[in-house]
A and B are shown apart, each in its own frame.
Chain A
Amino acid sequence: MIATLFLLAFMQIKVPDAAQFVGAPQGTPLTGPQLERRTMEISSELRCPVCQGLAIGDSPSIMAANMKAQVRELLERGYTEAQILSYFEKSYGQFVLLKPKFQGVNALVWILPILALAAGFLLVVTKAKKLETAPVKAATAEEEPADDPYLARVREMVDKP
């Protein structure tokens, strides 16, 4: 890592860096199993741009592997999840975030199911109350006699005194 940086500096190569998009790291650098775990977690929130809906952690495509390596590197340098997601959002657009941001019209996708649950619960309680007090209809004959002529005849015979 240090050697690469040294070499790069020597050759005056400049590669675009997250710092230009989201500033300096705002968290602590990660190492070891925690680094791997966080890489996995954040990779599952970023969408592979050429796959059909897969996360970069699940995709075999080359760019997805590059993106995942970038996530790991940024975590090593101490970037926070919010910063990393923001960096990818700035280059790829909101499309790359698998978890919709709670912002603007996107908030609706989070709110609507909860509203539905609440509204539905009210409906269920109302309906249950209504059903408790509903008048009981006298047991009716199952089907009209015209349904089954034989049954009709049988009933007729049975009902005769």
Chain B
Amino acid sequence: MMNTITAELIKLRSLPVALATMGGTLAAAVVLAAAIAASGTTTSPTQVVIQSITYLQVGLILLGVLIIGIDYTGSNMRTALLATPNRRTLLVGKCVAYLLAAAATSAAAIVAGFLTATITLAIRESATETGADTWPVIGAGVYLVLIGLLGLALALLLRSLIPPLVAMLSLVLIISPLLSTLTSYAQYLPDQAGSLLYHRESTAELTSGTGMLVLLAWIVAIGAGAVMEFRSRDA
């Protein structure tokens, strides 16, 4: 098991596109935090970080989709299964490798974004809210990791790279904002339910805790189908 996790981490490190995704997410966090703080819509670094999550989730989704999808673009999956014939072990290895990489990326991006926001707000000499609530920021980090995990599950289900990427991006960036103006059921969409982790106000039906459970339920539902398919189908 340890060997598989190490192997998956080495594989991830040797993928230029994965490194670019992690670096790009970090860079985007800094630029976005500076831009949002400079636009003067808010004076709290926490709020700045929260507003940048909408964009930052793209990076984590890409990371989650890549870790599975890249194996399906060539014959890489067969090589991986030759090396680790036990499919459950391979899958656990991939998930743990993703969680480690995603947690590091998410934490780094959020800390960098928070610091940039604080500095930018200080330079603009707007009255910075001190004693900021740290829970929304931590919640935002957890949300980023989880939404990427949903991307991973979808990539495993669809056994490809581009279709799950387009589906996830359309969901979180287009369909979800569009439907949320329309029907209150939209709050049960994975990204809307998960966003309660960092939005302080809870809706009528969901709180941060139940919101996270809804997001986890989405991951488990898609993931369970994907795992069953992965264990029984040809590679």
Q: Is this pair of chains taken from one and the same complex?
A: no
Q: Which residues of A are interface residues toward B (Cβ below 8 A)?
A: none
